Amino acid sequence: MKLVAFAPDGAATGARVGVLTDAGIQPIDDTDGDLRRLLDRSALPSGGEPAVDPATVRYLAPLPRPGKIVCIGLNFRDHCREQGIAAPDYPMLFAKFGNAVSHPGDPVTRPRATEKLDLECELAVVIGRRASRIGPEEAMEAVFGYTVLNDVTMRDLQREDRQWLRAKGSDGFAPIGPAVVTRDELGEGRGLRVRSSVNGEAWQDSTTDEMIFDVPTLIAFVSRTLTLEPGDLIATGTPAGVGHFQDPPRYLVDGDVMRCEIEGIGVLENPVVDEIPRTDDHAAAAGVAELRSAGTPR
């Protein structure tokens, strides 16, 4: 089953969730455009409304405010190879927050703080049941389905900060969608083609078979210390081909269109726009230096 959040094209209100079928989008009652309202239900209710023509709607992020976005770094063998580093011995975790979510088609702002903006196409797991300290053999029972997530990243800040909160957690840096496909259709998410492009030019092209730690292993690992709740997301990592590790490196600029596609789920597109005015961030950096010199805790 393929679920989408949508609103009438051009409308600021009226968000709904529906099932995408060959006949159109079949609306579901009482969702307010948030898939989380459905995760604890054994069956999906329907108001018996006529199907909506997909050409007349705007697709929205199916989880506009996830409880947690748990991200996995360096989880594709080909991504490790392109960096010339060894595969990790255990999953590397970091987080994004709800402020990072943006809708399909929404502009992603390139902040003044960066000159090295990059994309990362990722398979994201949608958690449907509470999971705490579970093993891999039962982990899939916690999975509701899957969506596409673009782990937008400021590579210069990632290097300067030596941790990834600002670089990956900034406003709008987690576009998700366009759909959530339920577990019964995609199983453990194996063998799915993962592709990205910029302005129609291919950047990434791999499959989830390159993942070092599969979905059950990731859920079991995360749940050892973090209780997973319905509506949480796990972004499972990105394959080779991101701009930073191309030769020469390539970065996103104003007017670029990012396209992320995962087999069986769909295409997520977002344009890049510059923060205005686009000037350097030396004043902000000087402000930080002044705070440090004054002995402000950090």
**Which comes out higher in pLDDT, residue 72 or 28?**
72
Domain count, the chain: 2
55 and 7 within one domain: yes
Distances (CA, A) of 208 to 50, 162, 179, 247: 37, 27, 18, 24
Domain hosting 110: range is 69-274
87 and 48 within one domain: no
Residue 227 forms part of a structural domain: yes
177 and 145 within one domain: yes
Which tokens go with 35? 């898939």
> What mean pLDDT is predicted for residues 246-258?
98
Q: For residue range 224-233, what is the model confidence (pLDDT) as tens digits? A: 999 999 999 9
- Rg of the chain over CA atoms, in angstroms? 19
Band the pLDDT of 293: cuts 50, 70, 90: very low
208 and 118 within one domain: yes
| pLDDT of 72 strictly over 60 | yes
> What mean pLDDT is predicted for residues 146-159?
97
160 and 41 within one domain: no
- Lowest-confidence range among 29-38, 93-102, 110-119, 239-248? 29-38
142 and 24 within one domain: no
The pTM for the full model equals 0.92
161 and 132 within one domain: yes
> What mean pLDDT is predicted for residues 76-82?
97
**What pLDDT, on the 0 to 100 scale, is given for residue 265?**
98
Residue 298 forms part of a structural domain: no
Which conformational region is residue 14 in: left (phi greater than 0), alpha (psi within -120 to 50 degrees), or beta? left
**What pLDDT, on the 0 to 100 scale, is given for residue 43?**
64
